[in-house]
Chain A
Amino acid sequence: MNETLRIMIVDDELIVRESLYHWFKKSGHTVEAVSSGMEALGILEKKPFEVLFVDMKMPRMNGLELLKRVKEDYPDTLVIIITAYGSIETSVEAMKLGASDYLLKPFKPDQLALVLEKIMRERKLTSECHYVRGLLEEITRFDNMIGQSPPMTAIFDLIPKVARSESSVLISGETGTGKELVAKAIHAESFRSKGPFIAMNCGALPDALLESELFGHQKGAFTGANQARKGFIEVASGGTLFLDEIGEISPKMQVDLLRVLEEKKIIRIGDREPIDVDFRLLSSTRRDLAEEVASGRFREDLLYRIKVITLHIPPLRERKEDIPLLVKHFLNKYSHETAKQVDRVAPEAVEFLKRYGWPGNVRELENAIERAVVLSKSRTLGLEDFSFIQPSPIHFGRGRTLKGVEKDYIQAVLEEQDWNVTESAKVLGVNRVSLHKMINRYQLKRPP
């Protein structure tokens, strides 16, 4: 079978459009022909094309203007400039703007065939490159963490440093902020990266089951223990053990875990012989463990053992500048996974996503993008694709302090009023001086 391309011809001359259209059709390509740059951009909004053949001289928007717009908005789309009035200057300018080729009308019959051959070769190389890059991302996982905000950049800088030590790390952050991703990245960057990475959610299991899962058991240790089984601590030997939601474990489990960390030995349930273990502990929590210690729910000595190094991942609402980047990342991911050609989000939709509070953090954003991609009928996600999100900029979930909620509310009002302090003060029912004091106290800053 022939390889085929999705080609758009943009030329104000009907005869050129017709000739090219029929020629491409004969080679089995999917072709669309339009007479202006604006029409071309309108169609590109709705469906993707791999190659555009663009006439240089057109009324209103000329070929170079269209080339510039296409390369800004759809960098993967190749543009071939065609012209009857060629000059070295324009060809250099076209190539600088990103044109893949520059053809002088009329072409020799084999010239067009050669250009298409070249495009298909390039396309094959690009898709192979994407495939290999995807595989590498899967392996390293560090690349799956997205962010350019100052707190995320600080975390990216810290990970390699933290990874090289053997100290325990406590990763704190609200649910859905990506604590496990950080743990995986630390493991992947550490000397233990060739060993196993074992993740366990402590909050999901009852105490007895958690004990058996962590320490393992001997045959006959309890009803149903038909054979001996290694625990996760033993399995993680030589690698990393990640205990998610460590703040949820019972006082008894806290004692058992403390002993393991101090002695580097475990005893399987129903056994007496200690087994040496060699693992690095990473743990995470969404609770304030210092408060838990103060209230007597968490052992202070265990806390010092597990938080030799602490990393805090801020909630998504505190790093809104990362949202466009995350949206792009998830859009790529789900348009590949679902084989739907959705590759853009309208600016007003991005603004809406930035305004939303994201109580479920990055996980909630990822789910929202996946749902929107699956249900979208256009290549561009618009506001209507996110109508299932009920705007609630302030997150009142458990564990939040009054100060935290107050800070978020003030921030939300300021953003709603485009940082007009007078208007915001009116909405908040305070005077301008008080609002300025609050802004300083909470160190609120207008996003860049």
Chain B
Amino acid sequence: MTFSETYSFMNLKQPCIGLAPLGELPEAALQGVAAFIRTHLNLEARILPPFQNPTYAYDQKRGQYNAATILKAFKSMPFDDGLDKVIGLMNVDLFIPIFTHVLGEANEGGRYALASLYRLGRSADRVPASMDQIIERLVKVAIHELGHLFDVGHCLNKHCLMHYSGNLADLDATSLAFCDYCADFLAYAIRRERLPNPERQP
């Protein structure tokens, strides 16, 4: 049984998730993430007009983009008030100060998240991944970060979307679904989400 079959909220106004491309990104990647949100989570997904590459977050020393800086900048960007959560999708190398790199980033319970394609095209044996595989990985990263926005924490179940994947092999081992425990938690959080969000612009 899929997530949407189990947790149908047809009679309620669903939270709307905005997908914000930052810089150039394949259309198929955006569509892949939006399709998963609509069909598997049964939530609204809206692809927003593209934004410029966030050069303000570029760290000269590390040659990477600081994810925490971008998330802070999102707070002052004019996103539509009707969007409950916003996921920035990009194709740059992201980091946070304590890690060498991250595939995505979100603050738990917040409004904004990031996911990047940049490191998803590789594989353990250095054979380039196919576009389908890259998009599947991006969907996993984006939905994992979306889970954090709904306050769902990391999960010990290695097949659950909320399992922490420190590398691509771990990411490939997760399935495109939540475990029962995280699915329940997410369903509860989505119901609760209809309450006002303190991070949203007035």
Is A110 touching B170 in the complex (CB atoms < 8 A)?
A: yes
Is A22 touching B167 in the complex (CB atoms < 8 A)?
A: no
B97: interface (CB < 8 Å): yes
1/0 contact trace for A1-30 toward B, CB 8 Å?
Answer: 111000000000101101110110111100
Is B97 touching A111 in the complex (CB atoms < 8 A)?
A: no
Is A2 touching B107 in the complex (CB atoms < 8 A)?
A: no
Report A-chain residues with C-beta under 8 Å of the C-beta of B97.
13, 15-16, 19, 105-106
Closest chain-A Cβ to B131's Cβ sits at a distance in Å of 24
CB closest chain-A residue, reference B95: A106
B56: interface (CB < 8 Å): no
Is A16 touching B167 in the complex (CB atoms < 8 A)?
A: no
Chain A interface size, under 10 / 10 to 19 / 20 to 34 / 35 or more: 20 to 34
CB closest chain-A residue, reference B66: A15
Question: Which of B33-41, B42-50, B81-89, B149-157 interfaces with chain A?
Answer: B149-157
A121: interface (CB < 8 Å): no
How distant is the Cα of A25 from the Cα of B100 in the complex, in angstroms?
20
Report B-chain residues with C-beta under 8 Å of the C-beta of A2.
153-156
A252: interface (CB < 8 Å): no
Report B-chain residues with C-beta under 8 Å of the C-beta of A3.
156
**Contact check: which of A15, A20, A107 meets B68 at CB < 8 Å?**
A15
B78: interface (CB < 8 Å): no
Report B-chain residues with C-beta under 8 Å of the C-beta of A105.
97-98
Is B155 touching A107 in the complex (CB atoms < 8 A)?
A: no
| Known A2-B155, A2-B156, A26-B148: A108·B108 in contact at CB below 8 Å | no
Report A-chain residues with C-beta under 8 Å of the C-beta of B148.
26
1/0 contact trace for A77-106 toward B, CB 8 Å?
Answer: 000000000000000000000000000011
How distant is the Cα of A19 from the Cα of B98 in the complex, in angstroms?
7
How distant is the Cα of A28 from the Cα of B151 in the complex, in angstroms?
10
Given A22-B107, A106-B95, A108-B99, 16 additional A-B pairs, CB 8 A: A2-B153, A16-B97, A19-B96, A19-B98, A19-B99, A25-B108, A26-B148, A26-B153, A27-B153, A28-B153, A107-B99, A107-B100, A108-B166, A109-B100, A109-B102, A110-B167
10 contacts between A and B (CB under 8 A): A2-B155, A2-B156, A16-B97, A25-B108, A25-B153, A106-B100, A107-B98, A109-B102, A109-B167, A110-B170
